[in-house]
Amino acid sequence: MALSRREALASMLAGAFLLPGTGCGAAQADPSRTLLPPTASEDFLARCIRCGRCAEVCTAGCIELHPPWAGAEAGSPFIVPRVAGCNTCTMCTQVCPSGALTPIEPEDVLDAVDMGLAYVDEGLCLSFLGRVCGVCHDACPFPGEAIVLGHHAQPQVLGACVGCGRCEERCPQIPAAIRVFRQDPGSPRWKGPA
């Protein structure tokens, strides 16, 4: 295949012409308010090949895929816990072909999964406002281990929280009084109203 320098350059450009088009595009979902599927590796975006198998196998229906204009994240999966939290079935980890998710079994979830950590806004939480709620505790897949209820069913999140987001999904308060945040260094953590 004979190729002149101009043709080669033009095609390199064709291959990379999306760089500005995709790099500047804002992701659809606010990255600080989304979670990655369980056991996402440190270099998740690099490892994910965007095949969508995790979203197709998700039994909770919580895994969505970034739209094509979402820059470097396009086609990769994310979870918006307020829409649907993860039910920790671990199917997505088992079907991932590229090692972006590490395969685990459901009984390993408490040890191996760290999607984020739930934070309670005591200024919003019904139980802190004099009503007895406790819905977050009942929604949690690890009640008693990840979250405990104190006096008047006031929730307290413990370090074992895997960040599945079911508490945020089920919280009856609007806006949610318990929210899950990724534990990435530098990610904005929400600690209640300023």
Partner 1 sequence: MRARHLAIQAFRRLCQVSALLFVLYAAISAHWRNFKVGHNSARLVGLLKNEAWGEAYALNERALSWFGEPLEVSDGFLGVPWGASIAGLPFTDPLSVAALASQGQLPPTSMLVGALIPLGLALVGGKLYCSFLCPARLVFELGGAVRMGLQRLGLPLGELGIPRLGLWVGLGLVLFSAGMGMGAFHLVLPYLSLSQGLAAWMLTGSAGVGLAIFGVLLLVEVFVAPGQICRSLCPTGAVLEQVGRAAPFRLRKVDPSACPSSCNLCQRVCPYGLFPGQETHHPSCDSCGRCTLVCPDNKLAHGLEWGAKRCSD
Footprint on this chain of partner 1 (rule: CB under 8 A) = 1-3, 7-8, 10-16, 18-19, 22-23, 43, 45-53, 55-61, 64-65, 67-76, 89, 91, 95, 97-99
Q: Which DSSP symbol is given to 177?
A: S
Instruction: Select 89 or 129, whichever has its Cβ closest to partner 1.
Output: 89
Taking the least distance from each CB to partner 1, the nearer of 2 and 174 is 2
Nearer to partner 1, 48 or 153 (CB): 48
Measured from the CB of residue 107, what is the shortest distance to partner 1 in angstroms? 18
Q: Please name which of 139, 80, 113 lies closest in space to residue 155, comparing C-alpha atoms.
A: 139
* 3-state secondary structure at position 75: coil
Cβ of residue 13: shortest distance to partner 1, in angstroms?
8
Closest approach, Cβ 15 to partner 1, in A, equals 2
Q: Minimum distance between the CB of residue 184 and partner 1, rounded to whole angstroms?
A: 16
For partner 1, which is the closer residue by CB, 60 or 136? 60
Whether the Cβ atoms of residue 189 and residue 163 lie closer than 8 Å to each other: no
Give least dist CB 100 to partner 1, A. Answer: 9
CB of 6 to partner 1, least distance (A): 10
Using the minimum distance from each CB to partner 1, give the nearer residue, 26 or 132.
Answer: 26
Q: State the Cα–Cα distance between residues 180 and 161, nearest whole angstrom.
A: 10
Those residues with Cβ within 8 angstroms of residue 140's Cβ, 6 or more apart along the chain or in another chain: 146, 147, 164, 166, 167
Structure tokens, 154 = 């006031």
Residue type at 2? A
**Token pair for residue 125?**
């939480």
Residue among 72 and 132 whose Cβ is closer to partner 1: 72
Helix, strand, coil percentages for the chain (3-state, nearest 5): 30, 10, 55
Strands 147-149 and 155-157: antiparallel
